[in-house]
Structure 1
């Protein structure tokens, strides 16, 4: 339950941060009349994300067993790429996102189709987060059954919406840099578990048969069906009887991504925005 909750909380806060910067800039520059365009962009992005998720779920239900396993593997690989790129993108973009958004707003409102341009900018910003969420949820729901995961994801979304409104209206200050750093580490562990699970799905689909000897067997000591096993599975991608290939993929992924992620980030010579850095450290978006 913790994995979908925290990831949807993070995704929701990223979307809230972006839309909050846009809304605040419109208000501060006396252009609040354009706010309905922002809401239209948000609603269109949410609707498209829900449609894509429902379509993928419907299509996968029509597949025969081996095709379903292959589909689950493909969704898992896409989710790993999306989650990993999200972590590293926010690590870099937090330093300049505010200035870039302000420039984009000015450019959009100076165009001949200002309303459509603003809608498009908000739509693509929110749709990015929405589609990332869809692929992650599809991957994790395929590996876990029951209502707990969807309810945890919904709770994360609702909490992020509440936090977003609180940040916008000045009632909440978060150290966003620390938040994104720790959730980034957590997400990399989740992505590693999804990658190992995707490799297992490839084996079930008959496309990968190497390194299938069990690396260890803890089904009697710490079964994944137990309470602690379920928690570790959701947080760290734990399996009670993984294959050697799954262990290699999991540990190799974590060794590479965590080493890269935890290195001190050195900005390039590109112009950075001190206001965005300040915002990422806890000021209002």
Structure 2
């Protein structure tokens, strides 16, 4: 429940920031009449995300066992790519996203005709990105968990994100967004490592990956994955009580490389460095 909650909270706040920046800019520049168009773009993006999620879930239910394992593996690998790119994109774009969005609004509304279409498209693609990222992550999570805890956590995260987003928009809520995205970025990379290990396991169960399958350590007698703590660790860290060599290697290499790249200081451009010394 915690993992879907935090992921949807982060995704929701990202989407809320995008919408809030655009809506606030429209109001500040006396173009508040276009706010209805913004909502239309949001609804279309939400509809697309729900349709894609439902279609993929329905399609997976019709697969035989081995194809279901292959589908789970492919969704997991795609979720890892999407989550990782999301974390690094926000790290890079956080400083300039407001200016870029305002420039996109001006460009959309500067078109000689069909201004509404340009604004709808801008909002649609910005929000759909967050929605589709959430869809692939939630599919990978739901396939590796049982019961209603994961869907409930995702729903609560989305509701909290909407409340916080509205609070940021009206100015009543102050968040240290840099710190928030940094710590949630670390958490997402840990989750992505677990999903990657689970995808390796699914590929083996589908009969497509049979290398390095010796068990590294058997913890089933100490901390079985079916226990309360084991289930919690499995949901957050991708824990397995009998991990194989390939799963441990995939988890460790991915986590070490991505955390190093994510946590290392951003490079200052040479021109900026020269300017700061002068």
What's the TM-score once normalised by structure 2's chain length? 0.96
CA drift at 1:163: 0.3
Match of 2:120 in 1: 119
d(CA) in 2 for partners of 1:268, 1:118: 33
Deviation per CA, 1:192-221: give whole Å up to 9, x if none. Answer: 000000000000110000011111111111
Match of 1:71 in 2: 71
d(CA) in 1 for partners of 2:159, 2:266: 31
d(CA) in 1 for partners of 2:191, 2:269: 29
Against the structure 1 CA distance between its residues 161 and 131, is the aligned structure 2 distance closer, same or farther, given a 3 Å change threshold? Answer: same
CA drift at 1:266: 2.4
Against the structure 1 CA distance between its residues 270 and 82, is the aligned structure 2 distance closer, same or farther, given a 3 Å change threshold? Answer: farther
Match of 1:253 in 2: 254
d(CA) in 1 for partners of 2:150, 2:159: 14
d(CA) in 2 for partners of 1:219, 1:244: 16
d(CA) in 2 for partners of 1:269, 1:18: 30
Flag structure 1 segments of 5+ consecutive residues without an equivalent: 272-285
Match of 1:169 in 2: 170
For 1:114-263, what aligned pairs fall within 5 Å after superposition?
114-263=115-264
Matched, 1:110 2:110: yes
d(CA) in 2 for partners of 1:268, 1:190: 32
RMSD: 1.2
Match of 2:45 in 1: 45
Match of 1:274 in 2: none
Deviation per CA, 1:29-66: give whole Å up to 9, x if none. Answer: 00000000000000000011000000000011111111
CA drift at 1:71: 0.5
d(CA) in 2 for partners of 1:169, 1:76: 37
The answer (yes or no) to whether the contact 2:145–2:235 under 8 Å persists in 1 is: no
Match of 1:23 in 2: 23
d(CA) in 2 for partners of 1:246, 1:47: 36
CA drift at 1:267: 4.9
What's the TM-score once normalised by structure 1's chain length? 0.93
d(CA) in 1 for partners of 2:187, 2:137: 14
**3-state SS of 1:76 partner:** helix
**3-state SS of 1:265 partner:** coil
d(CA) in 1 for partners of 2:166, 2:268: 30
**3-state SS of 2:116 partner:** helix
CA drift at 1:270: 9.7
Number of aligned positions between the proteins: 271
Deviation per CA, 1:153-179: give whole Å up to 9, x if none. Answer: 000000000000000011100000000
Runs of 4+ in structure 1 over 3 Å off: 267-271
Deviation per CA, 1:211-264: give whole Å up to 9, x if none. Answer: 111111111111111121122222222111111100000001001000110101
d(CA) in 2 for partners of 1:27, 1:268: 35
